[in-house]
Amino acid sequence: MKGYNQISDLCIRIKNNSQNYKKTVEIINTKDNIKFLNFLYKEGYILYYIILKDFKIIKIFLKYNNNVPLINRLNFISKNKKEINCPIKILLKQKNQNSFYIIKTNNDYLSLQTALKKNIGGYLFCQIN
């Protein structure tokens, strides 16, 4: 999975800083990180982000609901050398669970609901509780 280490670092930093009730977190600016942050913003898991210091650093503003972090637990399903490819039939089995699943396609990140609507499979990337 291209850029997996960067995205996993980003997710771990967001999760850890959220659990410690930090308002922001800073990460390295990469195309993969921007793509994933755009997805998290679109889905409402972060407030916003800005690019700092000659375009090398991204500052992420974390989101809370009644002082409870929106990203409290994050479990990686596909890992660097163990990608879990999921056709639509398998994704349908995850539909009724209370977790938010992120699907990685060739070009983008999708929520489970969006992947099912578009009838697109991909890698079951992670689960947010």
Collapsed DSSP state (helix, strand, coil) of residue 29: coil
Domain 74-128 fold: Dna Ligase; domain 1 (3.30.1490)
**For range 43-53, the mean pLDDT:** 92
Q: How far, CA to CA in Å, does 64 sit from each of 100, 118, 124?
A: 16, 30, 25
Alpha helix (H) residue ranges in the chain:
4-19, 31-43, 88-94, 112-118
Domain ranges of the chain: 4-69, 74-128
Domain 4-69 fold: Ribosomal Protein S8; Chain: A, domain 1 (3.30.1370)
Q: Is the pLDDT of residue 46 over 80?
A: yes
Q: What is the pLDDT of residues 5-39, one digit of tens each?
A: 788 888 889 989 988 999 999 999 999 899 999 99
Q: Is the pLDDT of residue 79 over 80?
A: no
pLDDT given for residue 92 in this prediction: 65
**For range 74-101, the mean pLDDT:** 67
Q: What is the pLDDT of residues 88-115, one digit of tens each?
A: 666 666 665 667 888 888 878 998 888 8
